[in-house]
Structure 1
């Protein structure tokens, strides 16, 4: 049998699309961003949890000490919970990224999984940051239309801690946006070009 006959009679078998080799610069950037996410999450949680201040409040019925703490606001509790989840998630995904950096071939499914979870966590962290920011703004400026008084003129240390925590959590959300871009770009580069 000649080689010409085999080529004419052979039925082409479908082959799986090629998997691109690992690009280490994306892996390194991914791990660095995940470590930054961990640091920002921890810093923001510590700032929020340590935001406590007690002041003497004078009223017509007498004076009494009154404490402002993050547990008094569901929005601040939500921020602490969301950033705690983000910190745990960053540890797990950094370890996954490190383990795949050593392999010559990374399955595209991993990038899809990371991308979907990064987007989901971005939504959670952004929502928590926005909610806490809204409550913090009311504490800072008050709302005369509904007669909510501002409290930051009395609880200044508490408000500084809350404000710093919100700014750091905004940085964590920006890191998550960068992670989404890195993983989407890395996944795009693995699409076979015809």
Structure 2
């Protein structure tokens, strides 16, 4: 009797030897973006902290009047939030580097990255919005309601530092959005179709 096994026919082979689709691997890009987030956070903090300026204000008599970030609670919150973001980005960069050679660990980390990245995005956005609101008052004043005068024509260096720091923080928030999208897309690509 002849055997009915068809060893050469591919439709009778089992697919147990073929690996499951691993999805698209963007962990190298993830590491780069997390390092860029760290750099943006560091630059934003350093620029606002080094923007101190002292001017002589003519009130009844000439008085040196300093402008420093720590005199405004919104700027203190901004520095604290961007410092936390920098620390977070260092930790997650190291975690991404550690997981880059371990596919099972990558898959487990992605949902956590999305969750924590979204939290950090909220922190960056709130701090940037708060600092931006105060910076706008310094630039334009609010003489219609409370009689606040603009100060950026006097403290020009300080205002330039604040503006540059806010711009870099906005860039950091865009990088964080890209990190969330990248993690979500990586999870989506790993789902069997």
TM-score normalised to structure 1 length: 0.86
Q: 1:157 to 1:19 in 2, by over 3 A?
A: farther
Deviation sequence 1:144-187 (CA, Å, 0-9, x none)? 22211000010000000000000000000110000010001111
The residue correspondences of 1:39-188 to structure 2 (distance < 5 A) are: 39-60=39-60, 62-106=61-105, 108-145=107-144, 146-188=146-188
Is the contact between residue 115 and residue 183 of structure 1 (CA under 8 Å) also seen in structure 2? yes
Q: How well do the aligned residues superpose, as a CA RMSD in angstroms?
A: 1.5
In structure 1, runs of 5+ residues without a counterpart are 1-17
Measure the CA separation in 2 of the matches of 1:19 and 1:81.
44
Q: Would you say how many aligned residue pairs link Structure 1 and Structure 2?
A: 174
Does structure 2 conserve the Cα–Cα contact (< 8 Å) formed by 1:19 and 1:105? no
Q: How far does residue 114 in structure 1 lie from its aligned partner after superposition?
A: 0.6
CA distance in 1, matches of 2:36, 2:126: 20
Q: Aligned in 2, Cα 1:19/1:167: closer, same or farther, shift over 3 Å?
A: farther
Following superposition, the deviation at residue 99 of structure 1 comes to: 1.0
Counterpart position of 1:21: 22
Distance 1:106 1:68 in 2: 48
Cα distance in 1 for residues equivalent to 2:23 and 2:185: 13
Contact kept in structure 1, 2:124 and 2:169, CA below 8 Å: yes
Question: Within 2, Cα distance between the matches of 1:70 and 1:152?
Answer: 14
Kept after mapping to 1: 8 A contact 2:41/2:85: yes
Counterpart in 2 of 1:12? none
Deviates more, 1:163-172 or 1:102-111: 102-111
Structure 2 residue matching 1:37: 3-state secondary structure: helix
